[in-house]
Amino acid sequence: MGMTMTQKILAAHAGLDKVSAGQLISAKLDIVLGNDITTPVAVNEFNKAGFKDIFDRDRVAIVLDHFVPNKDIKAAEQSKTCREFACSHCISHFYDVGKMGIEHALLPEQGVVTAGDCIIGADSHTCTYGALGAFSTGVGSTDMAAGMATGKAWFKVPSAIKFNLTGSLAPNCSGKDVILTVIGMIGVDGALYKSMEFTGDGVSSLSMDDRLCICNMAIEAGAKNGIFPVDDVALSYLDGRSERKPVIYEADGDAEYEKVIDIDLSEIVPTVSCPHLPENTRPASELSDIKIDQVVIGSCTNGRMEDMQTAYKILKGKKVAGGVRCIIIPATMNILRECVERGYYTAFIDAGAVVSTPTCGPCLGGYMGILASGERCIATTNRNFVGRMGHVNSEVYLASPATAAASALTGYITEWKDA
């Protein structure tokens, strides 16, 4: 029996000819990632274990993205710990205020991660990089500490589910609608500790931003990782960007999958995940009676350039509904600058929205958009658990940038119909 794409990457990094589902392996790491919340814990564990140095100054990345610029004294102390550790170990990939971005948008943009990599990150949405044809998964801060010191991590090789994509998306749909539809189909534990491998003729119709969004939310189905094949779209994105030469792995024709799920992209409709689980999905068209108080367009899921472009297309020349707070957050400083240069900022401000520097803030209920009791938000973020964005009696509806922007204009959840 052959190997899946994920299994081939893991075998190569474990120095083995073959691995199989359930096998325990020790694999070499290409990148170890942490942020301003998880890195201080990892640093403490690093020091407690008696480690003196990191395995490679160019293979550890620390991104300050959750609470920067710092929102309070605790956040300032956490960032200080990260700065001191990065400085003392001469970490080349350290991103602070002025260079920061939301980690899972920043690392692909900067070429820090590439095809064929084996990556761990002390953040659950590290699975984003599977869009580039890498194996990437979230771990705890203790695993991050060990990874920084040794350049290795233990894994149980995951089994896989194949998602066979055909057709292409309607103009008012995007990768967010795809992954919300998938999670609605299989549930939040439907891919528990499995690899979600997306393949088929429909893959070529998806942009890199679509793929990054889809892999980002693989964890919301319980998956160990999500992954796409490395095709011309991926190679074009990586060309001139990757720090290392991409390595391409392909699944064997006789690879074993627990199941194969066929998805016709042309049948996907604008989809919303209702409180309080990502699997609680319904078509946006069925939710037009849901009044909202806040809109958030951004996050590691949907803060990329295509997302900003969609928001601009819908909001330009119009006004955000009275009583609605619309918060737009470009995911990196490069995206922010491009928005300024294209005139998006002026359009957003004229529409009545506020634009933030890159931050994860509202997604995890940190700052820059906390909800009060009874308030509802439609957001392009990835989780809508109880109290995720603020008060336990608030509600978060997950949606695409198009649905979120259209809803900002009406004050109710609204399906955007491309003119």
Last residue of a domain, one of 235, 264, 293: 264
Q: What is the rounded average pLDDT of the residues 128-153?
A: 97
DSSP symbol at 350: H
Any domain includes 419: no
Q: Report, as an integer, the average pLDDT of 128-142.
A: 97
**In the beta sheet, which residues pair with residue 45?**
none
Tell me the pTM.
Answer: 0.95
Q: Are 257 and 320 within one domain?
A: no
pLDDT of 228 strictly over 60: yes
Q: What are phi and psi of 254, to 5 degrees?
A: -105, 25
Q: Are residues 33 and 166 in the same domain?
A: yes
For the stretch 97-126, pLDDT in tens is: 999 899 999 999 999 999 999 999 999 999
Average pLDDT (224-241) is 96
**Rounded average pLDDT over 214-220:** 97
Average pLDDT taken over every residue of the chain? 96
Residue 206 pLDDT greater than 80, yes or no: yes
> Residue range 167-192: average pLDDT?
96
Q: Where does the pLDDT of residue 305 fall: very low under 50, low under 70, confident under 90, or very high at 90 and above? A: very high
Domains contained in the chain, number: 2
User: Domain check: are 288 and 200 in the same one?
Assistant: no
Indicate the pLDDT class of residue 197, thresholds 50, 70 and 90: very high
The yes-or-no verdict on residue 337 having pLDDT over 80 is yes
Residue 210 inside a domain? The answer is: yes
Range of the domain at 280: 272-410
> 254 and 299 in one domain?
no
The CATH number of residue 52's host domain is 3.30.499.10
pLDDT at 418: 74
Q: Give mean pLDDT, residues 389-404.
A: 97
pLDDT at 254: 94
Amino acid 417: pLDDT: 87
- The string of DSSP letters for 266-324 reads GG---EEEPTT-TT-EEEGGG-TT-B-SEEEE-HHHH-SHHHHHHHHHHHTT--PPTT-
Is 121 in the same domain as 103? yes
Tokens linked to 265: 């992209």
Q: Give the mean pLDDT of 231-253.
A: 95
Flag whether 417 is in a domain. Answer: no
- For range 153-172, the mean pLDDT: 97
Single residue among 234, 264, 294 that ends a domain in this structure: 264
Long-range CB pairs of 340-348, under 8 A, 24+ apart, other chains included: 342/312, 344/308, 344/309, 344/311, 344/312, 347/312, 347/315, 347/316, 347/317, 348/311, 348/312, 348/315
Q: Give yes or no for residue 419 having a pLDDT over 80.
A: no
Instruction: Kindly state whether residue 415 falls inside one of the protein's structural domains.
Output: no
289 shares a domain with 389: yes
Q: Are residues 252 and 400 in the same domain?
A: no
| pLDDT over 80 at 189, yes or no | yes
**Is residue 213's pLDDT more than 80?**
yes
Domain boundary residue among 264, 292, 309? 264
